[in-house]
Amino acid sequence: MLALTAIMPNAFNALLLKEKILNFVKTNGPITPTNAVKAVNENVLLVSAILSELVASKLIKISSAKIGTSPLYYAQGQESKLQMLYPYLPAKERELYDILKKNRVLIDKTTEPAYRVALRSLKDFAVPLTVKFNDAEKLFWKWYLISDEELNKKIEIILDLKEQVEPQEKENEIVEISSSEIVQEAGLPTVPTQQKQAEEKQIIKINTTKTKPKKRVRNTQREFNEFELLASTALSSFGVDIVSKDIKNKKEIDFIIFVPSKIGPLSYLVKAKNKKKINEADCSLAYNEGERNKLPVLFLTNGELTKKAKEYVEKQLRGYLIFRKLA
């Protein structure tokens, strides 16, 4: 009984110390073990052991890069502050850090060999991402703070499947042509020598301004509201439970749903996309997002699958992605 009484205060104090260190990290992170030692006034071995225990319990995270010999400990939501590690990175990793931060996404295969090695060492800032496309898998590296929306757009551009934007017409362009050039172009007799010099001084200005057809103003908000209602109604008609809804942009909504079954509810990621033509990139990105969330995907759209996208879904994504067109 005396032995038990002697142990209890120590266990209680250890629990209080653990809570104190956790709160310190959440308030001040990222921190080094030395910062925590000073804050709680305990020995470094005990504090380091508690920090390791908090990491193992997934209550806090630990950086791969170090300041001297010390990693940084931080809480969820403090990731952006890890950029304080930049001055302590090796030279090659600092170069790659700058490149990745600027470009946001890199393709592993097209990256220089030296940088490919550095990418695998830059664990705090470079996140690997595998994309299935055209019967093959491509390894990408993304900047760790990039949003899913920006990531999808970047990958679409890299895969060269983004819809082409027509160049804007030039307005009020003035083209200068000499009168002699017009005569030669039309196949007419050339101007006599004695008149040629005078004629060459004459410049004809042609206004090539094109009258642009008036564009019909689209009510995008109304169109989005109608699409959102259409997608929600379709899910309700399937008899599923909508757990969450995330509006990505004016053309895309993500749902998490529970589908009832005899063995219990099955979770699905629903990708609802308001787009006339659904290509391979759209399907591939939806599948990869499902993989990141460890969920099968239900793809809802009011558009049509392209021929290649249809083959891709039937051959490569069967069992992983279900395509349904909204009526």
Asked whether residue 293 is domain-assigned, the answer is yes
Residue-wise pLDDT for 37-94, tens only, equals 999 988 888 898 999 999 999 999 999 999 988 999 999 999 999 999 999 998 889 9
Crossing angle of the two packed helices 179-186 and 193-200, in degrees rounded to 10? 120
Asked whether residue 206 is domain-assigned, the answer is no
- My answer on whether 59 and 143 are in the same domain is no
Q: Which of 136, 158, 180 is the last residue of a domain?
A: 158
Asked whether residue 114 is domain-assigned, the answer is yes
Residue-wise pLDDT for 192-225, tens only, equals 444 444 444 444 343 444 445 555 545 677 787 8
Do residues 145 and 119 lie in contact, with contact meaning Cβ atoms separated by under 8 Å?
Answer: no
Q: Is 243 left (phi over 0), alpha (psi -120 to 50) or beta?
A: alpha
- My answer on whether 247 and 298 are in the same domain is yes
- Position 1 scores a pLDDT of 40
- Position 194 scores a pLDDT of 45
- My answer on whether 71 and 105 are in the same domain is no
What span, in angstroms and rounded, lies between the C-alpha atoms of 109 and 44? 44
- My answer on whether 73 and 97 are in the same domain is no
- Position 216 scores a pLDDT of 52
Asked whether residue 18 is domain-assigned, the answer is yes
- My answer on whether 229 and 316 are in the same domain is yes
Tally of structural domains, the chain: 3
What span, in angstroms and rounded, lies between the C-alpha atoms of 52 and 114? 32
Helix (H, G, I), strand (E, B) or coil at 134: coil
- My answer on whether 8 and 42 are in the same domain is yes
- Position 212 scores a pLDDT of 52
Do residues 204 and 299 lie in contact, with contact meaning Cβ atoms separated by under 8 Å?
Answer: no
Nearest of 80, 76, 33 to residue 53 by alpha carbon: 33
Q: Which of 79, 106, 128 is the last residue of a domain?
A: 79
- My answer on whether 226 and 309 are in the same domain is yes
- Position 264 scores a pLDDT of 79
H or E element at residue 221: helix 220-237
Pairing type for strands 304-305 and 277-278 reads parallel
Do residues 79 and 62 lie in contact, with contact meaning Cβ atoms separated by under 8 Å?
Answer: no
Q: Indicate which CATH number applies to the domain containing 145.
A: 1.10.10
- My answer on whether 242 and 280 are in the same domain is yes
- Position 175 scores a pLDDT of 39
- My answer on whether 64 and 129 are in the same domain is no
Low-confidence residues of the chain, pLDDT below 50? 1-9, 162-211, 217
Asked whether residue 208 is domain-assigned, the answer is no
Residue 47 is part of which domain span? 2-79
- My answer on whether 320 and 236 are in the same domain is yes
What span, in angstroms and rounded, lies between the C-alpha atoms of 32 and 170? 58
Q: Which of 79, 100, 131 is the last residue of a domain?
A: 79
